[in-house]
C-alpha cells in the first residue's frame, strides 16, 4: 500500500466551516476533533463543486494524517482546500490548516486529511459482497451500551451501533441505525457519514479484543459509494479482518441496506493506535 504523493502545485482555496453541534460528540482524549468521515464528506463536496465531472463518490486512496481540533458548536473555522489534478479523470484534495509558531513570525501547513477522488474504475475494481449472517455463532456479543460506555466513548450523535455487535476472529457484524441528522453545508454527497463511522467503531472493538489495541482509522485504499446511505436508515455492516500486523491492522468493510442491496464497499481500511500507548482496552474485552 503506497502513500499518497505529496501535494504538488495546484490551487489553495480558503474555506469556512461552521461546527455543527453533533461534531462535538466526536472526541479524542477529551478534545473534540473532526471525524474522518466528515472530513471525507467536506472534501467530496468541495471537489464535486469545483470539478463536477469527477466522481466524488469514488475514493481511490485517503489518509487521515492529523486530527483537526474543533471550535465550539456554532462557531466557524477557517481551513483550506488544496487540490491538484493527478490525471486519469480524478482530483487529489487535502484539508489543511496553517499553524503559526509561538516564538517566530513563521507558519507551516498542516495536512489533516487527503484523498484522491474519481479515478478510473479499474483502480477500485473488486467484487462488492453484501453483509450476511455468519454460519457460526459469534465468539462474543457486545451490547451497544457497553461499546459506547467503555470501548468507543463518543457522545450521543456517534452511538449508532443499534444491536449487540457480533465478533469473530475473522471479523465483525454490526447493525447500524443512522440518526436523522443532515448537513446543509455539504448535502452529504457520500451519504450519511454515521454508517461508515459506526463500522469503524466495530473495527475498533475488534482491534481491542483480538489485537489488544485501541485502533483508530488512519487511511483507506478504496471507497466506493454504490448508493447513498440515508439519515434514519437501517444498515448492516460486515467488517472483515484482512491483516493483523504488530503496528497496523487492515479491514474491508461492506455496508448493505435492510433489503440486502450494497450501499458502500471500503477496501484496505488501515487502523492503529494513535495514542502513543496511552489508551488501553479494558480487561473484560481481551480474548
**Which helix (H) or strand (E) covers residue 188, if one does?**
none
- Break the chain into its structural domains and give their ranges: 11-120, 140-285
pLDDT at residue 126 in the model: 46
Residue 81's nearest CA partner among 113, 35, 122 is: 113
CB 205 within 8 A of CB 167: yes
For 215-264, write each residue's pLDDT tens digit.
Answer: 999 999 999 999 999 999 999 999 999 988 878 899 999 999 999 999 99
Residues written for the chain: 287
Cell of 159: 452511538
Domain 11-120: which CATH number of 3.40.50.150, 3.20.20.30, 3.10.129.110, 2.60.120.10: 3.10.129.110
Is the per-residue pLDDT at 116 higher than 60? yes
Domain 140-285: which CATH number of 3.40.50.300, 3.10.129.120, 3.40.50.11890, 3.40.50.620: 3.10.129.120
Is the per-residue pLDDT at 118 higher than 90? no
For 20-63, write each residue's pLDDT tens digit.
Answer: 999 999 999 999 999 999 999 999 999 998 888 889 999 999 99
CB 214 within 8 A of CB 273: yes
**Percent of the chain at pLDDT above 90?**
74
pLDDT at residue 121 in the model: 47
**Which helix (H) or strand (E) covers residue 93, if one does?**
strand 90-100
Three-state SS at 154 = coil
pLDDT at residue 27 in the model: 93
Does 173 or 10 have the greater pLDDT score?
173
For 131-184, write each residue's pLDDT tens digit.
Answer: 555 668 899 999 999 999 999 999 999 999 999 999 999 999 999 999 999 999
Neighbouring C-beta atoms of residue 266, cutoff 10 Å: 24
Could you give the C-alpha distances from 143 to 93, 149, 159, 202, in angstroms and in order? 38, 10, 12, 11
Cell of 61: 486512496
pLDDT at residue 2 in the model: 41
pLDDT at residue 85 in the model: 73
Partners of residue 256 on adjacent β-strands:
236, 262
pLDDT at residue 1 in the model: 36
pLDDT at residue 125 in the model: 44
Cell of 111: 495536512
- Common-topology check for domains 11-120 and 140-285: yes
State the pLDDT confidence band at 108, using cuts at 50, 70 and 90: confident
Q: What is the mean pLDDT of residues 269-284?
A: 94
pLDDT at residue 52 in the model: 86
Amino acid at each position: 500500500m503506497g502513500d499518497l504523493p505529496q501535494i504538488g502545485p495546484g490551487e489553495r482555496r480558503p474555506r469556512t466551516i461552521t461546527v455543527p453541534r453533533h461534531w462535538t460528540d466526536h472526541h479524542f482524549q477529551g478534545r473534540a476533533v473532526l471525524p474522518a468521515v466528515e472530513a471525507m464528506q467536506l472534501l467530496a463536496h468541495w471537489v464535486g463543486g469545483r470539478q463536477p465531472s469527477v466522481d466524488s463518490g469514488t475514493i481511490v486512496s485517503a489518509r487521515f494524517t492529523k486530527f483537526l481540533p474543533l471550535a465550539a458548536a456554532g462557531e466557524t473555522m477557517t481551513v483550506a482546500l488544496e487540490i491538484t489534478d493527478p490525471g486519469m479523470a480524478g482530483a487529489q484534495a487535502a484539508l489543511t490548516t496553517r499553524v503559526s509558531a509561538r516564538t517566530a513570525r513563521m507558519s507551516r501547513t498542516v495536512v489533516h486529511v487527503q484523498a484522491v477522488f474519481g479515478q478510473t474504475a479499474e483502480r477500485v475494481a473488486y467484487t462488492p459482497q453484501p453483509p450476511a449472517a455468519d454460519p457460526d455463532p459469534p465468539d462474543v456479543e457486545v451490547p451497544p451500551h457497553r461499546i459506547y460506555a467503555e470501548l468507543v466513548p463518543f457522545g450521543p450523535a456517534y452511538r449508532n451501533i443499534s444491536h449487540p455487535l457480533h465478533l469473530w476472529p475473522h471479523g465483525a457484524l454490526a447493525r447500524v441505525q443512522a440518526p436523522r441528522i443532515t448537513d446543509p453545508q455539504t448535502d452529504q454527497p457520500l451519504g450519511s457519514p454515521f454508517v461508515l463511522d459506526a463500522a469503524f467503531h466495530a473495527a475498533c472493538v475488534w482491534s481491542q479484543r483480538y489485537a489488544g489495541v485501541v485502533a483508530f482509522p488512519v487511511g483507506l485504499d478504496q471507497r466506493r459509494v454504490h448508493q447513498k446511505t440515508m439519515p434514519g436508515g437501517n444498515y448492516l455492516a460486515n467488517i472483515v479482518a484482512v491483516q493483523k500486523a504488530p503496528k497496523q491492522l487492515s479491514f474491508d468493510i461492506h455496508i448493505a441496506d435492510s433489503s440486502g442491496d450494497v450501499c458502500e464497499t471500503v477496501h484496505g481500511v488501515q487502523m492503529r493506535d494513535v495514542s502513543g500507548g496511552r489508551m488501553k482496552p479494558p480487561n473484560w474485552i481481551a480474548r
